[in-house]
Structure 1
Amino acid sequence: MSNSAMRNTLEQIVLNQFTPLHCAQAREMLGWSFERLSEASRVSVAAIKRFESGEPIRDVTLLALAHRLEAEGLVFFPGFAPGRGENIRGTTPNPIGRGDYAMIE
């Protein structure tokens, strides 16, 4: 499988698995405010609040959130609270190389 195909597959997995509840639980586990996650992910506070309240956000914005939280060693599985992985950075590709990266909310 090519790198591009693998990246697209991993992105699709994240887009279908990372939920608003995961985001809120991860912030709580880390002791992060909306502002702290915003600074770390480059996603606006308004977009994070919209996502956590169940409103839609752009795919690239969701990937930026998941990537940043996974960089803190958190892992996300459907139906479960975030967990901590040892020496894990997660599988979400860094969205910075996406063509729509400039559209992060």
Structure 2
Amino acid sequence: MQAKKNIAKAGLETYVDIREGDALETLKTFNQTVDLVLIDGWMHLALDVLRILDPLIRPGGIVISDNVNTFKDSLKSYVDFLQNPVNGYQSSTLNLKGGTEFSVKVRRHDEN
């Protein structure tokens, strides 16, 4: 897998956890604090994956989402979730290639 090679080349393998397989299954047992999430691909699963990881993303954690303008219809509910302050994120769409959503978790979802 190219991602593993790139991470190893950068010397970051001790900081990165790549899980291969069905994300909805492999992430069910994940129970570590998350600093950064990259959502890129399988647009119809983006919100489901985020909902699994959301309780684990620390305040100050970052979610980066690729192609949010290219797949605007498919990612509408996902982007709406990130841009709704009630969900605990500050989020903005950056005009990079097909649109990149850059989101920072400012508080836990269940805090008021």
Larger Rg: 2
Q: TM-score, normalised by structure 1?
A: 0.28
- Where relative contact order (Cα < 8 A, 6+ residues apart) is larger, the structure is 1
Q: What is the TM-score with the length of structure 2 in the denominator?
A: 0.27
> Which structure shows the bigger proportion of residues in helix conformation?
1
Higher strand share: 2
